[in-house]
Amino acid sequence: MTKPFYITTPIFYVNAEPHIGHTYTSVITDTIARYHRLAGEDTFYLTGTDEHGDKISQAAEAKGQSTQAFADHIAGIFRSTWDELDFSYDRFIRTTEPAHIETVQHILQKVYDAGDIELREYSGQYCVGCERFLTDRDLDEEGRCKDHEKPPEERKETNYFFLMSRYTDWLAEHIEKNPGFIRPAGYAKEVLSMLRSDNGLEDLCISRPKERLQWGIPLPFDTDYVCYVWFDALINYLTGINYPDDPQFEERWSNVEHIIGKDILKPHGVFWPTILKAAGLPIYQHLNVHGFWNVDNRKVSKSLGNMISPLVMRERYGFECFRYFLLREMSFGRDASFSEEALVTRVNADLSKNLGNLESRCIKMLGRFREGIVPEPGAATELEKDLEALVKRIPITVDEQMRNMEPHRALASVFELVDATNKYIDQRAPWKLAKETDNAESMELLDKTLYSVCEMLRVISLLLAPFLPETASRILERLGLAGALEKAVLPQDAQAWGGLPVGNPTQTGDPLFPRLEMPAAEDAN
Ligand SMILES: [Zn+2]
């Protein structure tokens, strides 16, 4: 049996259409999933939509639609967008699915039976946008919700509470004993400070009275209430791999990687592990947290209209260019800035000039000097030995970086190979060697050079495949290696120098990355 690997995006809340933030999360998840598939692991990638809660029922009402119709519509947009962008998810889950409702009720009953859920009267400051009662920390100086800049409503309610505070010390200890459990490390620190704050961890309200909210999953032990959205939403990660019935559940679950944005650190870093613990389930392996995209130096928001549609970016620049920019520009965990100018600059430098030129030079020279047939390389000299050494080392580095959730660094490592190959070509100057047709030594050296650059392209393509799947396939096809990705195993096949068969027919093609034009300056308004 191959090793199972399980990776998740958060389920996206259906109150907005897909924007740069959702797209980044999905691009990272897709890239990591593709890497693990190429590493021969039995990979399962889960994504989907979160569809319960008052915000959704209010948004549906405002549009004059039934809540279900509204949720169906937005969930459909997410799904079709991800399909258009060719994200390789294995399951698209919706929290309104019967299977999910059953799982949530199962977990609720387990936690209730364990004595970790209690009915209490509560009075407090409720923010409709946040869908929860706020604490003082959530309010600004004017007493408004910090996130929504609106004053909360005073509400009194009898509700069910999950006794999360019981798990404060256990969770803090787990985080301290397991570096990398939440990564990068700054976010583990942030969760620890939530746990260690003066008030400590509060208990979590997990219900809404049905008289106020119909749109939710009924509590199995009190059908006058529906489940609070986070408790419901987080459990999707269990439903996604058919908890508890699937015989593979345990093994998959023990290898889970959650990918989230930092705005949902608390639910994933605090609520989720304590819910799992209370339900008697092992907690997740890693929580991987990425930063925010600022667009044109401002936070992405609906009201600013700077959400950046992935389909518009695909139309304008090609999706792999946008995908490359997202992967390369953001250091995983930190914030980054997006602008179309920055995208054009980076794509032109890295993809058009660097990678694209390399591919076109290699295959054109092979066409011109050797009729497109991969020649016999002969014995390696120092220069080829240097390339071979690099090819031994870099795939291992990439493997480590991908497993440490540092895709931006892994991508930079792949480009070390691109740079080394460009440098090698300049050192060898095959166009000069090609003129010395009556010098046998020059001809041998030319063959060696042409073989080596094409072999480097093969290695680069294999390693690039998780990041830029379409580009990698195109390069491999031109090298006469169509279908190579289906058989390849990383990192070893990238490390094995000489994988390109002598005598392989290659073919030239259109430029992989035509130079992008700078976007026209928009009218000042
Ligand atoms: Zn709020």
* Distant-in-sequence, close-in-space partners of 315: CB < 8 Å, separation ≥ 6: none
Q: Which residues face 7 on adjacent strands?
A: 45, 257
CA nearest to 100, candidates 227, 287, 253 = 227
From CA 506, how far away is CA 454, in angstroms rounded?
10
Is 455 part of a structural domain of the chain?
Answer: yes
Residues 70 and 185 in one domain: yes
Is 131 part of a structural domain of the chain?
Answer: yes
CB-based contact 28:290 (threshold 8 Å): yes
* Tokens matching residue 272: 């989720």
- Strands 218-219 and 204-205, bridge-based pairing: unpaired
Question: Residue 153 C-alpha to ligand 1 middle, in angstroms?
Answer: 11
Q: Residue 462 sits in a domain of what CATH number?
A: 1.10.730.10
Residues 476 and 377 in one domain: yes
Is 309 part of a structural domain of the chain?
Answer: no
* Distant-in-sequence, close-in-space partners of 65: CB < 8 Å, separation ≥ 6: 73
In 10 A of CB 341, how many CB atoms? 12
Q: Residue 77 sits in a domain of what CATH number?
A: 3.40.50.620
Question: Residue 104 C-alpha to ligand 1 middle, in angstroms?
Answer: 25
The pLDDT of residue 198: 74
> Which pLDDT tens digit goes with each residue over 89-148?
999 999 999 999 999 999 999 999 999 999 999 888 988 887 777 888 889 889 999 888
148 is catalytic: yes
Q: Which residues face 204 on adjacent strands?
A: 162
- Of 3, 146, 189, 299, the catalytic one is 299
Is 175 part of a structural domain of the chain?
Answer: yes
Is 343 part of a structural domain of the chain?
Answer: no
From CA 146, how far away is CA 124, in angstroms rounded?
16
Is 12 part of a structural domain of the chain?
Answer: yes
The pLDDT of residue 524: 42
321 is catalytic: no
145 is catalytic: yes
266 is catalytic: no
127 is catalytic: yes
Question: Residue 154 C-alpha to ligand 1 middle, in angstroms?
Answer: 13
In 10 A of CB 97, how many CB atoms? 15
362 is catalytic: no
The model's pTM:
0.94
The pLDDT of residue 164: 96
302 is catalytic: yes
Residues 282 and 353 in one domain: no
From CA 525, how far away is CA 511, in angstroms rounded?
37
Question: Residue 146 C-alpha to ligand 1 middle, in angstroms?
Answer: 7
Residues 284 and 357 in one domain: no
Low-confidence ranges of the chain (pLDDT < 50): 523-525
> Which pLDDT tens digit goes with each residue over 64-88?
999 999 999 999 999 999 999 999 9
Question: Residue 185 C-alpha to ligand 1 middle, in angstroms?
Answer: 27
Question: Residue 129 C-alpha to ligand 1 middle, in angstroms?
Answer: 5
Residues 88 and 179 in one domain: yes
- Of 150, 189, 302, 435, the catalytic one is 302
- Look-up of token digits 């008052």: 54
63 is catalytic: no
Domain count, the chain: 2
Is 474 part of a structural domain of the chain?
Answer: yes
The pLDDT of residue 417: 98
- Three-state DSSP class for 328? helix
Is 525 part of a structural domain of the chain?
Answer: no
Task: Pick the last residue of a domain from 244, 267, 290.
Answer: 290
Residues 354 and 278 in one domain: no
Residues 236 and 87 in one domain: yes
Residues 284 and 362 in one domain: no
Residues 227 and 158 in one domain: yes
User: Whole domain around residue 464: which residue ranges?
Assistant: 349-495
Residues 19 and 98 in one domain: yes
The pLDDT of residue 1: 58
The pLDDT of residue 525: 42
Residues 360 and 281 in one domain: no
Residues 257 and 365 in one domain: no
